[in-house]
Structure 1
């Protein structure tokens, strides 16, 4: 569990916040899964949107809350929690009567959430290759300099953001090339094969009931479905599982994006199809 200590937090006003607060962005995959968890618990929480398009997550104010510059960030009575999967576990432990993490499955679920989290940069790679126009994706170099400053997590200099900075530097220089996309697609193919096998014999990923694993993977499947991944053809059980979850309002409403963003994304994807630059082609489906 990544809970920051006082010396990590430079935006000190948040230490005085009472209740449950979520700093998040509507289109962030990690924010979406935390909001689904909050929806399912029914707990009251305060919303603090952080606009990633305007790069508000790289502001001195936000970096003073989460030194990694990532959303979401949960603040509970002044305590700051970062890393979305840790936040899911925290919410389930402290606010959820209908547990989505069975006590006897915590170790297994934690391992599976780590597996899912290890694919996050691959999700970003495919998102920025197939769904986001380059002009929307590039980061302001001065703001990246702010992110690069040494900051602490749990009192220690944080090296976690090196991968982030390397991603944005590469994206600035060359975008996302075919080989990068192929590698990420290949990783997801293998992951989805595992999930497909689970769903041949189970209603949900861990059995007959929804768990936090369903929340986490629902968001990945939704994002890659938008990117053009052929789930119905390649992983029919996973496709049916997704459609079933999509009928649940607490899940479905978190996949909605604002009309302007949806329009820009739709036009971009249409252009990619015309050019033959699709996830199906690059991934050799």
Structure 2
């Protein structure tokens, strides 16, 4: 089993943490998505035409979305996770749906651009270069629909970062995090009961990212969730999953 992922990638953290919590053995294969842009390489596109991370290879099966990997981990964990209890299926699916509706990349990059003004020019410029490269490749691309979707995605990102008031858009997107948190029950000791569930995995990843971008103050409004997260960080799996509680630019530069 091989997990292709990137150290700083939010969705890669979900995959790493989920697989570790499920007790799955896998080869942790890190990609350089910033400088080499290995996610755009030909060999990787054969695995994942969407050109995203993470991707899990499990036997003859390929999972190219973190939610699919999360569900794979849940199946691997079986009764050890609360997800195996059918009575929790509906609330777990609803919370997962809400979680995956959060536009975490917009939140992350908007906060960086608001904190470091020159990035307002750097990020859109980098995205425009990627779009230009993909447009050149489109004519000969074996999977034209995937390349077209990638172009549209990056164009939408450019529009978000360059049009309108960034602060207002950031605040609007950050509200979705609060809307998710208010739905979480009181931990007992895990979020949905005595056993760990996929909701613990995704919530831990979300709070990790909120802490990294310096917005953890909003979590303080939910002391029981805050206390749960402080305890969750002590789990060996959390430490081994390489969860980025702080931004680590030197690791990006060193491609680590």
Counterpart in 1 of 2:101? 118
Distance in 1 separating the partners of 2:189 and 2:142: 44
Mean CA deviation greater in 43-52 or 87-96: 87-96
1:117-168 deviations in whole A, cap 9, x for unaligned? 111x2x111211224762478535453356564776xxx9458657632343
Deviation at 1:173, TM superposition (A): 4.1
Per the TM alignment, residue 263 of structure 1 is displaced from its structure 2 partner at its CA by 8.6
**Alpha-carbon distance in 2 for matches of 1:263, 1:62:** 22
Q: 1:53-74, CA deviations, whole angstroms, 9 ceiling, x for partnerless residues?
A: 1222122332232121111011
Residue 64 (structure 2) aligned to one of 59, 64, 82? 82
Q: How many residues align?
A: 237
Q: Assess, with a 3 A threshold, how the Cα gap between structure 1 residues 84 and 263 changes in structure 2: closer, same or farther.
A: closer
Gaps of at least 5 residues in structure 2 are none
C-alpha distance in 2 between matches for 1:175 and 1:151:
36
| Structure 1 residue 99 corresponds to structure 2 residue 85 | no
Question: Which of residues 205, 211, 219 is equivalent to 2:205?
Answer: 219
Equivalence map 1:4-19=2 (5 Å): none
Where does structure 1 lack aligned partners over 5 or more consecutive residues? 1-19, 265-285
Of residues 132, 151, 171 in structure 2, which corresponds to 1:182? 171
SS at match of 2:183: helix
Task: Work out which of the residue numbers 25, 28, 39 in structure 2 matches 1:44.
Answer: 25
Question: Segments of 4+ in structure 1 off by > 6 A?
Answer: none
Alignment root-mean-square deviation, CA? 3.2
**1:247 partnered with 2:227:** no
What are the residue-to-residue correspondences of 1:151-230 with 2, within 5 Å? Answer: 157=145, 161=150, 164-170=153-159, 173=162, 177-195=166-184, 198-199=185-186, 202-229=188-215, 230=217
Residues 35 and 215 of structure 1, relative CA distance in 2, 3 Å threshold? same
Cα pair distance change 1:84/1:232, threshold 3 Å: closer
SS at match of 1:139: helix
Q: Distance in 1 between matches of 2:198 and 2:226?
A: 18
Q: Distance in 2 between matches of 1:255 and 1:137?
A: 27
Change over 3 Å in CA distance of 1:128–1:262 after alignment to 2: farther
Is 1:130 the counterpart of 2:111 in the alignment?
yes
Residues 236-262 of structure 1: per-residue CA shift (max 9 Å, x gap):
111111101001021134214898516
Residue 192 of structure 1 and its aligned partner are, at CA, apart by 1.6
Provide the residue aligned with 1:109 in structure 2. 92
Length-normalised TM-score, structure 2:
0.78
SS of equivalent to 2:182 = helix
What's the TM-score, normalizing by structure 1? 0.71
- SS of alignment partner, residue 57 of structure 2: strand
- What corresponds to 1:281 in structure 2? none
Tell which deviates more after alignment, 134-143 or 239-248: 134-143
How far apart are the structure 2 equivalents of 1:236 and 1:151?
A: 51
